[in-house]
Amino acid sequence: MDDEAEIYDGARSQFPLSFGKQSKAAKPLEAIHNATRRASSSTAAATTIFKDDQSSGRSDFPSLSSSSKVWIDSHKKTPSSRNTTATSAGGGGGVIIGPSRPPAEFNGVKIGPPRQSLLLETADEDDLLVGPPPPPLTIFEDGDEMIGPPRPPTSGIMPDDEEEEEEEDSDIEEQSYRIPLSNEIVLKGHTKVVSTLAIDHSGSRVLTGSYDYSVRMFDFQGMNARLQSFRQLEPSEGHQVRTLSWSPTADRFLCVTGSAQAKIYDRDGLTLGEFVKGDMYIRDLKNTKGHITGLTCGEWHPTTKETILTSSEDGSLRIWDVNDFTSQKQVIKPKLARPGRVHVTTCTWDREGNSIAGGIGDGSIQVWNLKPGWGSRPDIYVEKGHSDDITGLKFSSDGRHLLSRSVDKTLKVWDLRKMKEALKVFEDLPNHYAQTNVTFSPDEQLFLTGTSIEKGNATGSLLCFFDRTKLELVSRIGISPTCSVVQCAWHPKLNQIFTTSGDKSQGGTHVLYDPTISERGALVCVARAPRKISMDDFQIQPVIHNPHALPLFRDEPSRKRQREKMLKDPLKSHKPELPITGPGHGGRVGTTQGSLLTQYLLKQGGLIKETWMDEDPREAILKFAEVAEKDPKFIAPAYASTQPKTMFAESDSEEEDK
């Protein structure tokens, strides 16, 4: 027996531990992402905008940029003679502009054309192209191809057609980018419009704030396909959540609501502190310890983890130290055209944290540079930046440009070196929310913003992409037919676009991604199926019985105990009053003709005689008239000497008879 056991152990050791076990059939990733694929109608509009505008003259979507037009014209020709291609990722709306990419594998399947000469053959297969654009391929007459950078031009004269093609190709290469739009998921849970959004730097945790006064926390690493938040907060009861901002180390976040006090939370949603509120009866805002009215915006310093910036409706901006919640570090009062208080609608830092920009309620844009001895006087002042409230400001990373978004349906691009006039003004961008922002793409080739729903407009809310270099509209992507887009963000590490939307009855956060170019984030939670309920999860709800409360165990008290208990009760032991029978005396009615023993004895002794019931009332009064006239007691003696004699008219019987 020992030998057989040793032989079995020796043979078993040659096989892996999983040998003989049945593995669960995993759902392929391709099927999972097909379930989150965006509708083809909305994505096709992003790639066929120019064609529809030229043919039918529709104004639902604007025309493409010049580089996109060149790409569309070149795509109509023979693909093998071009170095560019563009497809929609599986019909999902991922717009590709630029040269072709090498073949890649997705879920074990090669995706994309293997070589340039096969573009025509694979165009109908709707393949996905993966990865950044490689160097263009050079095709020789003998059929060989060279991979790598192109050789320097030869000293020869090229035909005009080839020169034009090279110029077009160079323009396309300069504007090569791809927007992850093929798939979409929605993070739900709010009952009103989602007004703010914050994503940590690693892209694992997302915060959403809404007009329903709550903040929801989503964790991609711990979330499954149900897309449920793991925590819900209510920072200030009855106040809308307006801004959320992560610290540079992502260990804390700032929450700005409609109240005058901002709050700091740790990464797990536990409250760390609340900033003090100022004295509203002090007129000079620089002498108050904090804001005195509702906050409008707030942002953490991009590099310093102890400093934050807030703006308020009281007309001031304040810089705080998160280690001291009792007082601010700096108070900034914007420059105003006339004395008074004008609310500050939004504020932001530049990338290095050396400058502050604020949008003022009078439409002005003001920029302050942080330097020794700086004060409230702005370094840059644009008096009439917008004609209405400014809802969003954004610095470029190089510090040259500033983007501004306003309720006046415009988006303006400013050159910080020449702020007298805007470089470009984009109009017809409806905006009905005070938190609508504008942001850059990770490489800052594009900047994007959302639009609001307008009555009578069937287009719905859109996400608009603009080219920063040429200052042109690239495309418009439909997000929701009924809900407005408020805030948007393009995360650099995840390569995913987040947009918040909603109305008075619902709210959600749309996450746009592409399985071929996006990483983690939505890809992780979508592929993780919810855990199935097993027999071990079944729990019986315990029912607690009180034995003395059940009729079966209840002891019925005896009648003797009931009578004893009733005798002790003053109400139950009181003898009921007799019914009303016969006349009474002194307001009491009874057979004794009196309620008191004294009255009864006096009646029986004859001292109390009740004769008034048998007498005539007139005769009873007149019998005292003669006595009152002869011997008046009270008022009459005082006027006896001066009282006139009463004379009554004597009646004539004859006249009365007549």
- Would you list the domain boundaries of the chain? 36-147+166-177, 179-529
Task: Judge whether residue 533 has pLDDT over 80.
Answer: no
How far the first Cα of the chain sits from its last, in Å, is 156
Q: How far, in Å, are 224, 259, 345, 347, 360 from residue 366 at the CA level?
A: 45, 24, 12, 10, 8
The reported pLDDT for the residue numbered 33 is 82
Question: Token digits for 621?
Answer: 């009064």
Confidence of residue 244 (pLDDT cuts 50, 70, 90): very high
Task: Name the nearest CA neighbour of 411 among 434, 395, 393.
Answer: 393
**CA-to-CA distance for 67 and 73, rounded, in angstroms?**
10
Q: What is the pLDDT of residues 413-444, one digit of tens each?
A: 999 999 989 999 999 999 999 999 999 999 99
Average predicted confidence (pLDDT) for the chain: 76
CB 509 within 8 A of CB 206: yes
**CA-to-CA distance for 485 and 489, rounded, in angstroms?**
12
Q: Which residues are CB-neighbours of 247 under 8 A, at least 6 positions away?
A: 253, 254, 300, 305
The reported pLDDT for the residue numbered 310 is 96
- Counting residues of the chain whose pLDDT is more than 70, the rounded percentage is 67
Question: String of b and e for 451-475 (b: at least 16 CB within 10 Å)?
Answer: bbbeeeeebbbbbbbbbbeeebbbb
CB 241 within 8 A of CB 227: no
Greatest mean pLDDT among 167-176, 223-232, 597-606 lies in 223-232
The reported pLDDT for the residue numbered 46 is 39
Q: Which residues are CB-neighbours of 121 under 8 A, at least 6 positions away?
A: 113
Task: Name the nearest CA neighbour of 469 among 441, 430, 499.
Answer: 441
Q: What is the pLDDT of residues 362-372, one digit of tens each?
A: 999 999 999 88
Confidence of residue 250 (pLDDT cuts 50, 70, 90): very high
- What pTM does this model have? 0.63
The reported pLDDT for the residue numbered 16 is 64
Q: What is the pLDDT of residues 554-585, one digit of tens each?
A: 677 778 888 888 888 888 888 777 665 555 55
The reported pLDDT for the residue numbered 565 is 85
Computed on alpha carbons and rounded to an integer, the radius of gyration of the chain in Å comes to 45
Task: Judge whether residue 594 has pLDDT over 60.
Answer: no
Residue 541: CB atoms within 10 A of its CB come to 4
The reported pLDDT for the residue numbered 5 is 66
Question: Token digits for 655?
Answer: 């006249």
pLDDT top residue among 69 and 264: 264
Compute the average pLDDT of residues 287-316: 94
The reported pLDDT for the residue numbered 605 is 64
The reported pLDDT for the residue numbered 607 is 61
Task: Name the nearest CA neighbour of 507 among 479, 478, 477.
Answer: 479
The reported pLDDT for the residue numbered 140 is 41
Task: Name the nearest CA neighbour of 96 among 182, 5, 217, 7.
Answer: 182
Residue 618 belongs to what H/E stretch? helix 617-622
Question: Token digits for 228?
Answer: 């449920």
Task: Name the nearest CA neighbour of 231 among 244, 247, 214, 245.
Answer: 214
Confidence of residue 198 (pLDDT cuts 50, 70, 90): very high
Question: Token digits for 86?
Answer: 């563009």
Q: What is the pLDDT of residues 93-145, one digit of tens each?
A: 444 443 334 444 444 444 443 333 333 333 333 444 444 454 444 444 444 44
pLDDT top residue among 90 and 543: 543
**Which CATH number does the domain 179-529 belong to among 3.30.460.80, 2.170.130.10, 3.40.605.10, 2.130.10.10?**
2.130.10.10
CB 484 within 8 A of CB 434: no
